Amino acid sequence: MDDDKTPEAVQEADTAYDALRALAHLTRATHPAPVVYRILGNLKNLGHFLPQISDQLAQGLVKSLEEYDVTEDQGKDPAESIMQAGEHLARAAELAEQLGEELAKAQEAIAAQGYRTPGDRRRESDDA
């Protein structure tokens, strides 16, 4: 791999990390249910994409043993490390699926909520 060029997959993972980090900051504020509903609508998709990504990464690691001259420090067998990584990625995929299901349930729980701002309430009082 050319050290001057970051692979596109790494760039996209960096972008996803940055987006989640920004969202962690932005969700400190109070948001009404319809806004949270929209946020959850996007986040629940993590449960769909992360298992696929985990599986593909595990498969790619196995294939890398055939396509590259894979080495590992201290004489350890790279195939053993890849097998261990695959087991962890499989478990991560299961947990991500659960994450997506729980986020979908949270979204469903608030689906019927609406809200009025303090300004809306004042206008309604003035109109009454």
**Closest to 81 in 3D by CA, of 68, 66, 70, 96:** 70
Task: Enter the DSSP assignment of 5.
Answer: S
Task: Give 1's pLDDT tier (boundaries 50, 70, 90).
Answer: low
Residue-wise pLDDT tens digits, 19-75: 999 999 999 999 999 999 999 999 999 999 999 999 999 999 999 999 999 999 988
DSSP tag of 75: G
37: Cβ contacts below 8 Å, ≥ 6 apart:
107, 110, 111, 113
Average pLDDT along the chain: 94
Q: Measured in Å, how far apart are the chain's first and last C-alpha atoms?
A: 70
Single pTM value for the model: 0.82
Which one, of 49, 39, 50, 41, lies nearest residue 104 by Cα?
41
